[in-house]
Amino acid sequence: MVTTKGKRKFVFGLKQDRLADGDKMNSQLVKQVVAEGGKGAAIAACMQCGTCSGGCTNVDSMDLTPRSLVLMVQRGDWEKVIKSNTLWLCSSCYICTTRCPRGVRPSDVMEAVKAIAIRQGIENDATRFHKVFVEVVQKRGILFEPELIHKYAGLEGVLKQAPLGIQLALRGKISPFPETVKNPLKFSQAIEKAKSCPQPQQPQPQSQPDTPTIPVVASTPAQKNSTSQLVSSSRN
């Protein structure tokens, strides 16, 4: 890294937005992501090669590529992560995870970050649909499609999908009557309880990614952790 007149330049023509800079790492968000289901993800091992973005199904429509998302998580830049549309465009196709040469598992990072965002109360069409989906499933232990559409898109949505629904019902592909699992009450109670389990703490929206002082020390355990994960997942 060369500094000239306060303006930063990087060797090999590397742009700043690609720089995986140990000084800038902030382990807090990484820890949260790991706690939220990103256990297998070796986030600190990301070398910003961009293979994940290159193969991503929906990268054209994303404002933050999967590669940048991993970088922002490394830096703890929660603001940028939560503002991007990337989370809601990812179709969980796992191409990134399959191709990543470092075992980072960007799709796991994506899912974990999504979970954190939902816990923080972010709302959009995608989260609303997932919420409704879970509600419907929780009630009976099994999905009932017409109810799902009704809850998500209202009567209007039902009417819009009605021709297709009728065609399907006539062919015996969906039932107009709901089914249940054997003990729906026990099922839904257990899920309710699972939802209220103690959860990892919330990230601070006003995180400061550009404080290069303490985090280096603070991130040591996380990095150690990730290195061992790198070894274990390097067969991918």
Partner 1 sequence: MAMAARNVALAQKQNLDLLASCSGCYNKSARALKALQEDKEEFERISAILSEMGLDVSAYNIRVRNVVDVLANELWDTLTSRIRKPLKGVKVACYYGCLLTRPVDITGWDSPVFPISMDNLCRLCGAEVVDFRGKTKCCGGPILISQEEIALQLTKQILDEAKEKGADCIVLACPLCDTNLELRQADIEKKYNTNYNLPIVYITEIVGLALGLSPRKLGMDKHIVSTKPLLAKIR
Indicate the helix (H) or strand (E) that contains 186. Answer: helix 184-195
Backbone angles phi, psi at 19, to 5 degrees: -85, 110
Q: 48 is in the binding site of which of partner 1, ligand SF4, none (Cβ under 5 to 8 A by kind)?
A: ligand SF4
Estimate to the nearest angstrom the gap between the alpha carbon of 133 and the chain centroid.
18
Q: Minimum Å distance from CB 190 to ligand SF4? A: 30
The residue among 26 and 84 lying less far from ligand SF4, judged by its C-beta, is: 84
Distance CA 228, CA 157 (A): 49
Please work out the total of residues on this chain that contact partner 1, with binding judged by CB under 8 A: 40
Distance CA 49, CA 62 (A): 18
Under rule CB under 8 A, residue 235 binds partner 1: yes
Under rule CB under 8 A, residue 105 binds partner 1: yes
**The one-letter amino acid at 236:** N
Contact 143, 155 (CB under 8 A): no
Q: Which one of residues 19, 118, 191, 216 is an interface residue with partner 1 (CB under 8 A)?
A: 191
Q: Minimum Å distance from CB 64 to ligand SF4? A: 10
Residues that bind ligand SF4 (CB under 6 A): 46-52, 55-58, 66-67, 70, 90-96, 100, 102, 104, 106-107, 110
Q: Which residues contact 38 (CB under 8 A, 6 or more apart)?
A: 105, 108, 109, 111, 112
User: At CA 44, angle to CA 39 and CA 50, rounded to 5?
Assistant: 105
Q: Is 60 exposed, middle or buried (0-12, 13-18, 19+ CB in 10 A)?
A: exposed
Q: Minimum Å distance from CB 91 to partner 1? A: 5
The residue among 93 and 134 lying less far from ligand SF4, judged by its C-beta, is: 93
User: Which of 24-32, 184-192, 202-210, 222-230 is the region at the interface with partner 1 (rule: CB under 8 A)?
Assistant: 184-192
The residue among 104 and 112 lying less far from ligand SF4, judged by its C-beta, is: 104
Residues lying near partner 1 in the complex (CB under 8 A) are found at: 39, 57-58, 61, 88-95, 97-98, 105, 107, 124-126, 129, 137, 152, 164, 167-168, 171-173, 183, 186-187, 189-191, 193-194, 197, 233, 235-236
